[in-house]
Structure 1
Amino acid sequence: MTDRRVDDAVVASTTARTLLASVDEARALIVNLRGRARVNPLRGASSATRRAHARAETLVKRCAAMGDFEAARTLGGYLVERFGEDSARARAARAAAERAAGETEKAEKMIEEGLERSPYDQRLMRSRVACALDRGDEREAIERLCEYLETHGADEEAWSALGKLYAGRGEYDKALFCYEEVVCAMPFDANAHRKMAEVLYTAGGRENVRDAKNHFALAIDFTSGKDVRAMYGAILCAKRLRETETDDTDGVVPKGEGAALADAAAERLLQRYAMENESMLRVVRPQIKRLVAPSEG
């Protein structure tokens, strides 16, 4: 049977190789772009050059992730050189390189100067949020995200980030509002439904838990039964609903709503453990059975 730890190691190794290849590609791109003339805003650039610029923006972040700040800064500086100091696109890329190098103040100064010229630029406004998070200032990050979403309200990734921040602060009503925006924008996205369900379950209350169960069920459905977190969530929702429901005739807490979903999720989970991490099956099976079993009053 395949061990999950082996799979994780393979994924990590593949990611590392991809990032290393990105650094090599970045250094080759630096050589390739060096010496090209600055882009004329009236004439624009060739399609090949535009693709190279877009790739350079991506590689700035990847080089920074690998700790090659020299390459990241070189590419960021090249974009500024190519598009000019007034280019919000180039400033955002260069600021990303400085942030990754730990120069948050320097990055913020670049961003603020860019916002003076382009106050609603999407890249710069998002970068300002990232700087606030780098400093650990969640309150400011929330304020900046709210400002950003007033202008770019169709950005579901920003709504999700804002929802996560609110949920972390225990402001569940505000978090739910944010995740509702995400679900409306991506009604068939399993992650959106699972995040919504997790906040509903944490907020508590029978109605919230019932809604959480429904969103967990959608997450399971949209992933064809592959979302492990959603399956555990469905089981916990059924357990919570069962605990808040009593039968006055014999004092037994019955298997209430969500029981069928919980049973199916439990069966699917045990199948997944048997296929992918059999060594954990002995530990997990009694725990799952205890969660789905009706309790005696």
Structure 2
Amino acid sequence: MEELDQVLERGDSVAILRYLRHNRIRASAEVVQHGQDFVAKGKGSSLGIEAWPVYEQVFLAALDLGETLLAERALGLLRKQFPDSARVGRLVGMQAEAEGTYAVAAEVYKSLREAHPTDPVVWKRWVSLAKAQGDLPEAIKRCNEYLKVFQNDSSAWQELAELYLLTGHLGKAAFCYEELVLSGPSIFSHHVALAEVYAAMGGAESLRLARKHYAQSMELHQGDDNLRSLYGMCSTCHALARCTHKSAHEDKSDAAVNGALFKLAVDKLKSHYRRVNPSMLPLVEVTLLQQAIGDASLQK
């Protein structure tokens, strides 16, 4: 497949817009540069049926860049051709959001949800509107309502988890990431995200769960470049060693597992910096050594 630089070098505006659209590349400046004449100078008729996706593409890019007049022109062409389209209706709401007229956007999305209750994109715009207004509790409420209808939407579980993190509800965020792990158990990044929440919650039980999911992430992505998991494993093992060391019921077998996982993560981190950035290796070694000092189980 051609690279973007090659397509840009040819200078064919239609081909450039098509490439960006098909590869879902949101290069707004390039889209406006190569697409504005089709909208503003009436050259869209030369595109045939491809004119409509180009108008939408230019509209979104114009919103990104604050090109209000160009966005209005593109939207006007779409509304004239598709006056009752839910897709165009969403664009009307997005324009209202961009202009800061949130009440107008809310009315647009309300009407669209009533007319198209199974359109997930309309629901998502409704959630994003609450976020844009800074009303995170309302965004959480709307996201939960969305998930009652679209329970298998992993992107919505991800969004809800991040909203809970922003509002300090770690337990609820963990639940959302658990749903992601259940729906995609082989996706290492889901395990990392869940592990980070458990690690932030603290306490021996949560730290063991964090360690478990860091380990699963390391198993799924076994290279030495899985840095979030490797550093997370080191810090979690360190925190768990300190936590259980103070307990009168320290589990010797668990301490051995903790030490082995700490060493595995340390070895992979050293391997990574030795290969990628040797000048950083001494600093990394000192940092990891400081974590191990005082915890005999991590020094074995």
TM superposition score category, shorter chain reference: 0.7 to 0.9
Residue aligning to 1:108: 106
Aligned to 2:168, the other structure's residue is in SS state coil
Describe the superposition over 1:32-90 as per-residue Cα deviations: whole angstroms up to 9, x where unpaired. Answer: 54599xxxxxxxxxxx83x6645654554444333334444433343333221x32211
Q: Which residue of 2 aligns with 1:88?
A: 86
1:241 to 1:107, Cα distance in 2 relative to 1, 3 A: same
Q: Aligned-pair distance for 1:238?
A: 0.9
Change (3 A) 1:145 1:275: same
Structure that is richer in helix per residue: 2
Q: Which residue of 2 aligns with 1:75?
A: 74
- Kindly tell me: are residues 82 and 268 of structure 1, through their superposed partners in 2, closer, same or farther at Cα, counting changes over 3 Å? farther
- State the TM-score, normalizing by the size of structure 1: 0.76
Candidates 19, 23, 34, aligned match of 2:32: 23
Write out aligned runs for 1:183-194 (5 A).
183-194=181-192
Give the Cα separation in 1 of the matches to 2:26 and 2:117: 38
Distance 1:262 1:55, change over 3 A: farther
| Distance change >3 Å, CA 216–CA 119, structure 1 → 2 | same
Q: Which moved more, 1:134-143 or 1:52-61?
A: 52-61
- Rate the CA distance shift 1:161–1:248 in 2: closer, same or farther, 3 A: closer
Q: In structure 1, what is the equivalent of residue 9 of structure 2?
A: none
Aligned AA for 1:24?
Q
Tell me the equivalent position of 1:262.
262
When residues 34 and 69 of structure 1 are mapped into structure 2, their CA distance, relative to the original with a 3 A threshold, is: farther
SS at match of 1:145: helix
Moved more, 61-70 or 140-149: 61-70
Cα distance in 2 for partners of 1:221, 1:167 equals 26
| Structure 1 residues not aligned, in runs of 5+ | 1-15, 37-47
Counterpart in the other structure of 1:284: 284
How large is the RMSD of aligned CA atoms in angstroms? 3.3
Cα shift at 1:149: 0.9
Q: Which residue of 1 aligns with 2:4?
A: none
Task: Using the TM superposition, name which of 277-286 and 166-175 deviates more.
Answer: 277-286
Over 3 Å counting, the alpha-carbon distance change for 1:242 and 1:20 in structure 2 is: same
Cα distance change on mapping 1:192 and 1:67 into 2, 3 Å: farther
Q: What is the rounded CA distance, in whole Å, between the counterparts of 1:237 and 1:83 in structure 2?
A: 55
Aligned equivalent of 1:244: 243
Does the aligned pair in 2 maintain the 1:60–1:96 contact within 8 Å? Answer: no
How far apart are residue 28 of structure 1 and its match?
5.2
Structure 2: gaps spanning 5 or more residues: 1-24
Q: Larger relative contact order (C-alpha < 8 A, sep ≥ 6)? A: 1
Report the TM-score when normalising by structure 2.
0.75
Equivalent AA in structure 2 for residue 82 of structure 1: Q
Partner of 2:18: none
The 8 Å contact of residues 26 and 63 in structure 1, kept in 2 or not, is answered as no
SS at match of 2:257: coil
AA aligned opposite 1:246: H
Gap change, CA 1:204 and 1:103, over 3 Å in 2: same
Written as runs of structure 1 = structure 2, the 5 A alignment for 1:11-160 is 18-27=27-36, 30=39, 31=42, 33=44, 49=49, 53-54=52-53, 57=56, 60-84=59-83, 86-160=84-158
- Which AA in structure 1 matches 2:149? T
Q: Is the 8 A contact 2:241 2:255 kept in 1?
A: yes
CA distance in 2, matches of 1:288, 1:168: 30
- The number of aligned residues is 267
Query: Structure 2 matches for 1:189-204, cutoff 5 A?
Result: 189-204=187-202
State the partner residue of 2:226. 227
CA contact (8 A) 2:157 2:180 kept: yes
